[in-house]
Amino acid sequence: MGRNASLLSTQTELAPKRRIKVLVAKLGLDGHDRGAKVVARALKDAGMEVVYTGIRQTPEQVVNAAIQEDVDAIGISILSGAHMALIPRVMQMLKEKGIDDILVTVGGTIPTDDIVKLKSIGVAEVFIPGTPLSEIIEFIKNNVKRKQ
C-alpha cells in the first residue's frame, strides 16, 4: 500500500502539467481571421494549448470539435453581424449535450445591447475591438471551470 501510494505520488509529480486548452474558432461566413489568429498566438504565448479550427465554421463544427478536443474554453470570433443567429445555437447545443464546464467567450464587433443578451444565455464575456490581449488571457485563466 505504502509503495503504491508513493508510486502514485511520483506519477502525479512527474506527469505533464495540465495546461489550459482553448478552441479558437471563426463562426459563420466571414473570413476576417486576423483577430482570431492574433488571439490564438497570444494564448499560446501565455502557455495555453490552442486548437485553431479556421474560418467559416458552423455551430455544429465548433461544438463537436470542442468536445473531441476536450477543451476548457471556446473563443468564438465573429465580425459578420450574425452573432445573434449563430451564438445562441452554440449555447443551445452545449446545453443539449449537458456541457456546463466549458467557458465560452466571444470576440468581435458586438453592439452593447447584444452583449447583454449573449451574457444572459451563458456567454461568459464579450471582448470588443481594442481589448488588450492581457485582459483576454487573464479572463480565461481566472474563469476556466476545470481544475488545472
Residue 53 exposure: Cα atoms within 13 Å on the Cβ side: 25
Q: How far is the CB of 17 from another protein (least distance, A)?
A: 8
Three cell numbers at 99? 456541457
Q: Quick check: 106 and 83 in contact, CB under 8 A? A: yes
Number of residues in contact with another protein, rule: CB under 8 A? 35
For another protein, the binding residue among 43, 87, 124, 144 (CB under 8 A) is 43
Answer yes or no whether residue 87 interacts with another protein by CB under 8 A: no
Answer yes or no whether residue 34 interacts with another protein by CB under 8 A: no
> Under DSSP, is residue 31 helix (H, G, I), strand (E, B) or coil?
coil
Strands 73-78 and 125-127: unpaired
Q: How far is the CB of 25 from another protein (least distance, A)?
A: 9
For another protein, the binding residue among 11, 112, 120, 142 (CB under 8 A) is 11
Q: Quick check: 137 and 46 in contact, CB under 8 A? A: yes
The residues that touch another protein, with contacts defined as CB under 8 A, are 8, 11-12, 14-19, 40-41, 43-54, 57-58, 60-61, 64-65, 67-70, 97, 99
